[in-house]
Chains A and B, each alone.
Chain A
Amino acid sequence: MSRRIYGPFNRVEGDLEVQVEIDQGIITSAWVNSPLYRGFEQILHGRDPRDALVYTPRICGICSVSQSMAAARALAAAMGLEAPENGRLASNLVLACENLADHLTHFYLFFMPDFAHRSYAGRPWHAAISARFRAQEGKAAGEVLPARAAFMHLTGILAGKWPHTLSIQPGGSSRPVEPREKIRLLQIAGRFRHFLERTLFGGDALEDVAAIDTLQALETWAENHAGSDFGRFLLVARDLNLHRIGRACDHFLSYGAYQEGERHHFAPGIWMAGKRHPLEPGAIREDVTHSWMQARNGPSHPLEGITLPVADKPGAYSWCKAPRLDGHPMETGALARQLIDGHPLIRGLVAESGGNVRNRVVARVLELALLVPVMENWIRTLRPREPFCVHASLPDEAESAGLVEAARGALGHWMRIRNGRILNYQIVAPTTWNFSPRDADGVPGPLEQALRGLAVGNNGHDAIAIQHVVRSFDPCMVCTVH
């Protein structure tokens, strides 16, 4: 039995440390530490509630728009505002642009470079994968960076800039679209579509990729598209059995993504014991037993939550709190989103092998294929010259929540307003769920569970499998603790 500390993890957003106990080359226990605390919830206390639109996007430079959306939703709920159709469409487009750019960045710049690692030098695919994906030097980066930047022009038009926009308002968008700009937006989305179809999907239409509905069909697709980047991943995943590592708790959570009138484009819910159930946000509690945080009497709902750091606390090992739903740790992200919404491929993959490294990556890539056509449709639906934003004043007293789906999963803001000021603001981010520490019952968080049983051998820092498991969640550590 030995203990080992891994960190810092690069190619994740922010700083991360993982401590593991190893017995005969197998991880028997893991402790995940988010080593940075900044204190946004303390900074927000006492501010004008509208200032959350300035502060909260700056929690995270990679999930910035989803933080904006959550703040705008919480404010809208407090003000009793409903955005007009144009405002809703524009906000959805900006959020989708961020989420898809993040998926792309994750796949090409964060996740795939690990397969160029020296420990795979003996694999038949290693030379080709290295030439394509090696960090900084691989050929793919030179294609992906310009494509990503060009896609971001959509946000340049609709939100001024990325990250850290203020265009997403409680009543819609501050950026009305002119008739000619609709054309430009369609061109940007179309250009991104072409890039994905050509590079990631080997010439297939996005609609054809989105229609892959079984594991068998996916495997056939991979063989027929071995020269595409998604195909390359699938073949490596099969060779390395990436569906056999990184399984966590198999409880999944999605707040529902992209509002379309009364419903969401991707439905909200939870998934437990192989079935979908309705989402009950009232059942969320944050436990701080193992966090460097002041404890109260048991776990708190975020509306009642407090954030007071305590650096010397026995038994604590992370700045991250441990959110639980009905007492359960929950995995969140693209896999949860597509599973709960009911995509047949994802339902099939999870039925076969649960949440794991391969399935998480497949769900993200699938969302690229699913969402770009939807974005094109939203753009066509925009009605220039009609309203993009409605307005109301803020009440002096309110309690409200803003729940959205970031690229990495369920993001919630909870706010209490007293005398026109923020009395309490609590944020529970996707990676807070995924990388939470243990709770009062000693139940480990999803990543801690996903690492248990992983074979790492005696390779020390070269234990590349840990890297795959950690990155399969696309962690955002700056959101996690904030």
Chain B
Amino acid sequence: MKHPPMAEPLTLLWLQSGGCGGCSLSLLNAEDPHLYDTLALSNIELLWHPSLSEAGAGDFIALLEAITGGRQRLDILCLEGSVMRGPGGSGRFHMLAGTGRPMMEWIRELAGLARYTVAIGSCAAFGGITAAGVNPGEAVGLQFDGARRGGLLAEDWRSPGGMTVINVAGCPVHPGWVTDTLGQLALGELDDQELDEFNRPRSYTDHLVHHGCPRNEYYEYKASAEKAGDQGCMMENLGCLGTQARADCNIRSWNGGGSCIKGGYACVNCTAPEFDTPAHAFLETPKVAGIPVGLPCDMPKAWFVALASLAKAATPERLRRNAVSEHSEVPPSSGGKGT
């Protein structure tokens, strides 16, 4: 079979700093096709990835020098993990091994050279878990500091290819969010219009985690779970933010069919800036006068309260009982047919 001539591949360099490596590991879960085929089919050449490449120390540092010296073209820089600025702005909480230089400085220099810079995961995008609480590492995102614009790179920073940092947020990312975004870049079809207000790809943030939620019927009738393992809706008591969280987790499957909610636990809104430090326990819904503080996206509070009380009054016995049970105690009725 004859293939059409390919354009020159896009070169990709992947670096890790203040994170857990979980986004890379999630990426290895890519299926049909697997990761290496996906990259090849998008015409992306992996120059180096810390977990996957053969080149160690010397060859890797030589590669960095070739990029900074202009001898190696860099199309896409992916950073996984936050930028570590501490202690006291020195960047010494992460010195890139073998170079005696803070990773923060390498990132700044390479981002100035790469056509596009992509933040992989909520840490690289916004600071994420590494920036939680007192933020001991002075961790920050590439172009955001939590929800505030301007991180390591200034608010008005643009890459040589004319884009802001592209924030593939998530903790971890779904492999498809990364490969779709890289694919869009390779096609030349990722522009400002395709990014949302936090510069996340709209390909997945135009959805809510609520979309496709398997507990939708419980949600409709406000039949709520009370403890871990219950089948009911987890919004009222167990801290679930699926009706506010911007991601397609229940449309796109994780690990062959899963999602957080399908795993029996709350969505913690991990694609959002500052998800990492809620003012309450993660798995408990904060309430005022018995009403959850966070309401579903775009829903007027008065309407929600009115609909919720109406729905509660109409909850079928089946849902009321099954909502607080690990297993279906009452099956759906056969609608008058049969006995």
Q: Give chain A's interface residues, CB within 8 Å of chain B.
A: 5-11, 13-17, 33, 35-39, 42-48, 50-51, 53-55, 58-62, 64, 105, 109-110, 113, 116-117, 134-136, 141-142, 145-146, 148-150, 152-153, 155-167, 169, 171-176, 178, 309, 311, 319, 384-385, 387-389, 391, 460-462, 467, 478
Contacts and interface: CB of A to CB of B under 8 A. Distances in A.
B259 A160 contact: yes
Given A10-B48, A160-B262, A161-B259, 14 more contacts: A7-B97, A10-B60, A13-B51, A42-B134, A43-B129, A135-B53, A153-B257, A156-B257, A159-B263, A164-B270, A173-B229, A175-B229, A311-B90, A319-B93
Contacts of A8: 50, 56-57, 60, 96-99
Interface string B7-33: 000000000111111111110111100
B57 A163 contact: no
B229 A172 contact: yes
B264 A173 contact: yes
A10 B35 contact: no
A35 B137 contact: no
Nearest to A479: B20
- Residue among A16, A161, A311 with most chain B CB within 10 A: A161
Contacts of B280: 48
Contacts of B37: 142
- Residue among B26, B52, B97 with most chain A CB within 10 A: B97
17 contacts: A15-B94, A33-B97, A38-B139, A44-B133, A45-B134, A46-B133, A50-B281, A58-B129, A136-B54, A145-B34, A156-B256, A162-B26, A163-B20, A167-B263, A311-B87, A311-B90, A387-B326
B255 A175 contact: no
Contacts of A48: 280-282, 284
The 10 closest A-B pairs by CB, nearest first: A160-B263, A61-B22, A7-B97, A156-B255, A461-B58, A39-B136, A153-B256, A174-B264, A156-B258, A17-B97
A135 B52 contact: yes
Contact of B258 (A53, A136, A161, A388): A161
Contacts of B133: 42-47
A5 B98 contact: yes
B36 interface: yes
A219 to B, nearest CB: 29
A174 to B, nearest CB: 3
A50 B266 CA distance: 13
A157 B28 contact: no
A116 B56 CA distance: 13
Contact of B29 (A15, A157, A162, A171): A162
Nearest to B100: A5
B190 interface: no
Contacts of B17: 36
Contacts of A166: 260, 263, 265-266, 268, 283
B76 interface: no
Contacts of A172: 229
B253 interface: yes
B67 interface: no
B321 interface: no
Nearest to B225: A174
Nearest to A319: B93
A36 B326 CA distance: 42
Contacts of B259: 160-161
A136 B96 contact: no
B281 A51 contact: yes
Interface string B263-302: 1111010100000000011111000000000000000000
A60 B22 contact: yes
A61 B81 CA distance: 11
B46 interface: yes
Nearest to B231: A176
A162 B255 CA distance: 7
Contacts of A61: 19-26, 172
Contact of A9 (B22, B57, B227): B57
B16 A14 contact: yes
A45 B56 CA distance: 37
B59 interface: yes
Contact of A164 (B136, B171, B264): B171
B92 to A, nearest CB: 5
B187 to A, nearest CB: 23
Interface string B106-143: 00000000000000000000000110111111010000
Contacts of A46: 133
Nearest to B226: A391
B228 A169 contact: yes
- Residue among A38, A61, A134, A172 with most chain B CB within 10 A: A38
Nearest to B50: A10
Given A46-B133, A157-B258, A174-B229, A36 B93 contact: yes
B256 A150 contact: yes
Contact of B58 (A51, A161, A462): A462
Contacts of B48: 10
B261 interface: yes
Contact of B98 (A6, A134, A153): A6
A156 B254 CA distance: 6
A324 B199 CA distance: 47
A164 B172 CA distance: 7
Contacts of A110: 51
Contacts of A36: 17-18, 84, 93-94
Given A149-B31, A160-B260, A141 B58 contact: no
Interface in B130-158: 130, 132-137, 139
Contact of B28 (A7, A9, A105, A160): A105
B226 to A, nearest CB: 9
B255 A161 contact: yes
Contact of B36 (A42, A45, A136): A136
Contact of B52 (A15, A136, A169, A174): A136
Given A113-B54, A389-B326, A37 B22 contact: no
